[in-house]
Structure 1
């Protein structure tokens, strides 16, 4: 009966289109009623208790900071600086788009915000440079998920909370995978531009670079302050999120003067609506996670997997396939909140490092965000840029293959994620 409550009930409700927070709450309620000896007030305690977390506070703060940076001129100046530096080579505009998404990811951690911010700035130049609208939107859609991998990453924060792992270590482990993804995408774009004979953009001009660098110096300092403070031990990831908000407000309102306090008030309401959606899911998932833990289901699941006697490489392959499927349906935070309590004991039993596994989970769910047919970024790009979904499904295939190749590298070469942890020592 436990397996039905833990797995079958949520899956069935999801297939019926029931909202994820309702699914999790119903599963928790049914589980409590099945136990019989657990009072219903335990559900209330689990829901409220799941939000009583200092690290979790980083999620709404990073979302708010990313929104300010996207609308307050910080993201635009970073893109303009990157464009001025990489000019003069075939494919430089596409490489600049990837680099801009990577830098924005080091400040925000929100994939949809990255698609919106970078897309609005680079889509028209990409089209004019001969890439075509469908290919350009597909590139923006795929590069947007770099934000999920490069720290500070909201899914990493949530995984750290659920799996009881150091968020700082997860951030350190995410640096190299994020750079590998960006490098692989850039190499593909340089090859694509040469094969398709994309026109060469304006050559690099140092006066232009100096002008853009001078204009963007405060924007460039944003990721330096955020990540430098975390890895330097000056403040925690949660405190860094608060610093990011304060920094973005001061620079956008008083230095660049592209936002007024009225604009900031409206943005606060927009961000609050998105944050509320996420926190409702977190609260419901807290009750579901509590049910899973108290029922002993993870222990039985570990025993079942142990009985299959799967080699670690085969276990990881099965988990990867499952995560890709789930990630194409659920947003990363929701997927982590549902699956991490189930999978973490299994991989620890198999001797897989939980930090390494956290990056495997993160990259899988990042890929799922633009995997047809239900990836969130596909719908975001469709809504933002009006590109038909069937065209997007075809357009993202090359980028999907690149991400999957990098995923296999990260899965079976743990050093890619674990070696950077020595930088913290």
Structure 2
């Protein structure tokens, strides 16, 4: 089993094989060469891994994100944040982080945010701060979307860990704002050295105009989160309401979207949903094989032998997840590792909501860590910046987010304050 579930997948990963394929190849080899279980079990586990109501929220939030970009909602939010920050040092950089945070409250698709923000703000950022800093800021700010609810990563974790998704969403609010705040502080500090262009001061008239224009866009996250937190709707239903709201705003309020655009958004959303769920299905088989072959027991025994306290275990998990994030996408990392780690978390008395946020922040950082961070490839395509420049640009922001991760890890009330109120 070490060869089929360990060596072969690693070799395929090094060869550039799609993630879902290496999971399925490892599972198929295990069934045909090692296990006595009938191969039909592969199909049963695949469909069993997809039979979770919480996963229905994934296509809705992806569709909402696509509508946001096409309907002009993202542009209105960006303009509003730019008017709000005024003559703040590093105002354009702070606006970039703020816009990513607002967009994250609508859709948890980090790569889409990098594309939208990159097209709108990168030219000004590059002029003010230089291409390396600007590309690093855009690539890393997009990862905030994964932590700010609603988050697709939290939905996947909640499904795998059988944890309440509304509680996870509530738990992610303050950590997400912490990351955004620390990013803004770093941008302000760095701007005194890098920024050279004159900024436009705060103008009340401009702010009021952009607020009026952006009000329908600003109400979109309210529609989503209020429905969930006040118990009016499940996350899946809230995602559906967000899609309807996005269509109405884009078609009849901003008038920037035709019915053909709605169909195109639906098509793109279906394709992205398929890409995510095929990984979920393949990873479910892989995780099931690890489980029936005693991987959780081996990990538990190894942990007992090390006699790590909870803080030491969390540090080890952070290191593990940061390394995994360099090679696997968030979907794969969460679906495979959650069933293995959650029993250990419960054994040590660590709150599973707190651990879920820790895991989410780790995979968010993995979105921009070399060599396979998805945000880096999107930024390279959209911004036209070489990967070498991107790699150097994300380093300081990665350090800021790792510092935030340590605060989130070792200060549980930050996560649990709102989660316990749900």
Q: CA deviation at 1:139?
A: 0.7
Contact map agreement 2:70 2:261 (CA 8 A) in 1: no
Question: Contact 2:87–2:202 (CA<8 Å) still a contact in 1?
Answer: yes
Shift of 1:194: 2.0
In the TM superposition, what are the counterparts of 1:164-243 in structure 2 within 5 Å?
164-243=162-241
Judge which range, 9-18 or 184-193, deviates more.
9-18
Residue number in structure 1 paired with 2:267: 269
Report the Cα offset of residue 5 of structure 1. 4.2
Q: 2:321 aligns with which of 306, 314, 323?
A: 323
Aligned residue in 2 for 1:61: 60
Q: CA deviation at 1:36?
A: 4.0
Aligned to 1:379: 377
Conserved? CA contact 1:328–1:365, under 8 Å: no
2:361 pairs with 1:353: no
Which of 240, 244, 259 is residue 242 of structure 2 equivalent to?
244
Deviations 1:50-109 (A, max 9, x none): 222211011111111101101210010011011111112221111111100000000010
Task: Give 1:394's match in structure 2, choosing from 392, 395, 410.
Answer: 392
1:94 corresponds to: 93
1:344 Cα offset (Å): 1.5
Local SS of the residue matching 1:396: helix
Q: Deviations over 1:328-359 (max 9, x none)?
A: 21110111111111121222222222111111
Worse-superposed segment, 208-217 or 16-25: 16-25
When structure 1 is superposed on structure 2, of 367-376 and 189-198 the one drifting more is 189-198
Q: 139, 160, 163: which one pairs with 1:162?
A: 160
Post-superposition offset of 1:34: 5.5
- The counterpart of 1:409, out of the listed 377, 393, 407, is 407
Query: In the aligned structure 1, how far is the partner of 2:323 from the partner of 2:240?
Result: 34
Deviates more, 1:342-351 or 1:90-99: 342-351
| Matched position secondary structure for 1:324 | helix
Q: CA RMSD in A?
A: 1.6
Counting only pairs closer than 5 Å after superposition, residues 270-349 of structure 1 correspond to structure 2 as 270-349=268-347
- Do the aligned partners of 2:90 and 2:195 also contact (CA within 8 Å) in 1? no
Q: What are structure 1's unaligned runs of at least 5 residues?
A: none
Work out the CA distance in 2 between the residues paired with 1:67 and 1:126: 24
Post-superposition Cα deviations, 1:135-180, rounded to whole Å, max 9, x if no partner, equal: 2121111100000111111111001101111111111110011000
State the alpha-carbon separation in 2 of the partners of residues 255 and 93 from structure 1. Answer: 27
**1:98–1:143 contact (8 Å) kept in structure 2:** yes
Q: Give me the whole-angstrom Cα distance separating, in 1, the residues matched to 2:407 and 2:229.
A: 25
> Cα distance 1:295–1:141, how it changes in 2: closer, same or farther (>3 A)?
same
Deviation at 1:4, TM superposition (A): 4.6
- Conserved 8 A contact 1:292-1:341: no
Answer yes or no: is the 8 Å Cα contact 1:90–1:199 preserved in 2: no
* Residues 90, 198 of structure 1: 8 Å contact kept: no
**For the structure 1 residues 10 and 349, does the alpha-carbon distance in structure 2 shift closer, same or farther, using more than 3 Å as the test?**
farther
Structure 1 distance, partners of 2:398, 2:11, is 28
Moved more, 42-51 or 106-115: 42-51
Q: For the residues of structure 1 that align with 2:164 and 2:6, how far apart are their CA atoms?
A: 28
Q: Give the direction of change, closer, same or farther, for the CA distance of 1:70–1:170 in structure 2 (3 Å limit).
A: same
Q: Secondary structure of the equivalent of 1:70? A: helix
